[in-house]
A = this chain, B = another copy of it.
Amino acid sequence: MADNNLIKELREISGAGIMDIKDALAEGGDDKDKALEILRKKGVAKMSKKADRVAKEGIIESYIHGAGRIGVLVEVNCETDFVARTDDFKALARELALHIAASNPLYVSQEDVPAEVIEKEREIYKEQAAGSGKSDEVIDRMIDGKLVKFYEEVCLLDQPYVKDPEKKISQLIADSTAKMGEKVQVSRFARFVLGN
């Protein structure tokens, strides 16, 4: 028996009829992607605009620096359209776009850093500490400390806010959450440098 949420989701994505969706799920072993493929093969999926619709509110903000040499796009989310339209929320999105242009983060949060990148960093720190004559325990603590520094360099949420370096970006966002009474978060960003 297919899950109702799955049926609903497939209906939103494909625009196909409920019976077609149930058949496709039965045939595809309740796998969403397989069901979608079956629906497309049958020609009943309308790969229309519906796939664009989702529940998250907020705004997408852009910032162009240096006459087009750096460009930033950032998505800042909140829970309601009401908050998304406020000047405070718009100002926050603007600040985040400016900050990203200036501070060049590579990831939104620590969770977004690929495991192999962290492994590579640990390895480098280990090599650096190798000749120090310190105990393994001390070296481990040194490595952890260097990783914290690494996150502060490459993760947006851990970076010091360019206009107030005492404050991390995560704090800037937490302040907004408190002020607006809604969860506020950055879901993604893009940063282009000309010719890179």
List chain A positions with a Cβ less than 8 A from chain B. 37, 40-41, 43, 52-64, 67-73, 75, 77, 84-85, 90, 93, 124, 127-128, 188, 190, 192-196
Q: A43-B128, A190-B190 are in contact. Are A71 and B60 (CB under 8 A)?
A: yes
Known: A72-B73, A128-B43, A195-B56. Is A64-B62 also a contact (CB below 8 A)? yes
Cβ of B192 and Cβ of A188 under 8 Å apart? yes
In the bound complex, CA of A192 to CA of B76 (Å): 11
Of listed A54, A68, A192, A196, residue having the most chain B CB within 10 A: A68
Q: Closest CB of chain B to A110's CB: distance in Å?
A: 20
Chain B residues near A71: list those with CB within 8 A: 60-62, 73, 75
Smallest beta-carbon distance A173→chain B, Å: 17
Task: Find the B residue at minimum CB distance from A75.
Answer: B192
Q: Is A195 in contact with B55, judged by CB distance below 8 angstroms?
A: yes
* B-chain residues with CB within 8 Å of residue A40 when the two chains form the complex: 124
Interface of A, helix, strand, loop or mixed by DSSP: mixed
Q: How far is the CA of A93 from the CA of B195 in the complex (A)?
A: 15
The 4 closest A-B pairs by CB, nearest first: A59-B68, A60-B71, A56-B195, A62-B62
Q: Which residue of B lies closest to A60 (CB)?
A: B71
A71 to B69, CA, bound (A): 18
| Closest Cβ–Cβ distance, residue A56 to chain B (whole Å) | 3
Q: A167 to chain B: closest CB distance in Å?
A: 24
| Contact status A52-B190, CB under 8 Å | no
A73 to B100 Cα, complex, angstroms: 14
User: Which of A57, A77, A194, A195 has the most chain B CB atoms closer than 10 A to its own CB?
Assistant: A194
- With most chain B CB atoms within 10 A of its CB, the pick from A53, A55, A71, A85 is A71
Which residue on B lies nearest to A126, using beta carbons? B41
Contacts of A68 in B (CB 8 A): 58-61, 84, 90, 93
Can you name 23 A-B residue pairings with CB atoms under 8 Å? A37-B124, A40-B124, A41-B124, A53-B195, A55-B195, A56-B195, A57-B195, A58-B194, A60-B68, A60-B69, A60-B70, A60-B192, A61-B68, A61-B71, A62-B63, A62-B64, A62-B72, A62-B73, A73-B73, A73-B190, A73-B192, A75-B194, A77-B195
